[in-house]
Amino acid sequence: TDKCLPHHYSVDDLSGKAKCKAELQKELGLPVREDVPLIGFIGRLDYQKGIDLIKMAIPELMREDVQFVMLGSGDPIFEGWMRSTESSYKDKFRGWVGFSVPVSHRITAGCDILLMPSRFEPCGLNQLYAMQYGTVPVVHGTGGLRDTVETFNPFGAKGEEGTGWAFSPLTVDKMLWALRTAMSTFREHKPSWEGLMKRGMTKDNTWDHAAEQYEQIF
């Protein structure tokens, strides 16, 4: 029901998500391709959010068939880096310096993967939004990110399990490994990817559920 989105979708009908992706690619001036994994980052451009890791990883990541969009503001050095990276990889990278609520919603809905390599994150909200919108989170396994993102396991006791990937320790190599695993799952194992999306969308992250857990502890 999100008013910021050009198309709507649900766990029972995901077709609108592909349309949101195409609209986002058009809006950003990226090639409109359903088959390419589109990775998003939304957040402050500072040390806590792991922007330095993204910066170090981008040259290697841009060798892959991938698209990457970043939305945020903060450290002027990172803002300048985002602008220069966009001009270096015109068909693959977009850096939106600033913040816009409607744009953040369109990125959350239009991306396939949301990246959150935070050094620390007591709770974290973007990974919760991402799962609600059928976007698969790849996060550093710390704090609230570790608590809420269950790493994909194709051989769980009841079949496939998990809602994304939580990597640790916080290194460029580990982050790239998690992203590449997510990207290959997206490309080569469509039913598994759809399972990841649907498990994320049906996960209960409401206060009702949290309150019940608190009640049990007390």
Instruction: Give residue 74's pLDDT.
Output: 96
Q: How far apart are CA 13 and CA 133, in angstroms?
A: 12
Instruction: Give residue 202's pLDDT.
Output: 97
Domain 14-216 falls under CATH 3.40.220.10? no
Q: How far apart are CA 37 and CA 111, in angstroms?
A: 8
Instruction: Give residue 34's pLDDT.
Output: 97
Q: How far apart are CA 205 and CA 128, in angstroms?
A: 7
For residue 104, give the nearest of 211, 5, 171, 173 by alpha carbon. 5
Q: How far apart are CA 107 and CA 40, in angstroms?
A: 7
Instruction: Give residue 110's pLDDT.
Output: 98
Instruction: Give residue 196's pLDDT.
Output: 98
**Cβ(40)–Cβ(111) below 8 Å:** yes
pLDDT tens-digit series, residues 138-169: 999 999 999 999 999 999 998 999 999 999 99
Model-level pTM greater than 0.85? yes
Residues contacting 40, CB < 8 A, separation 6+:
68, 69, 70, 71, 107, 108, 110, 111, 113, 114, 115, 135
Collapsing DSSP to helix, strand or coil, 147 comes out as: helix
Instruction: Give residue 25's pLDDT.
Output: 98
Q: Are strands 153-156 and 136-140 parallel, antiparallel or unpaired?
A: unpaired
Give, for all 218 residues of the chain, the pLDDT tens digit. 999 999 999 999 999 999 999 999 999 999 999 999 999 999 999 999 999 999 999 999 999 999 999 999 999 999 999 999 999 999 999 999 999 999 999 999 999 999 999 999 999 999 999 999 999 999 999 999 999 999 999 999 989 999 999 999 999 999 999 999 999 999 999 999 999 999 999 999 889 988 999 999 99
Instruction: Give residue 159's pLDDT.
Output: 93
What residue spans define the domains of the chain? 14-216
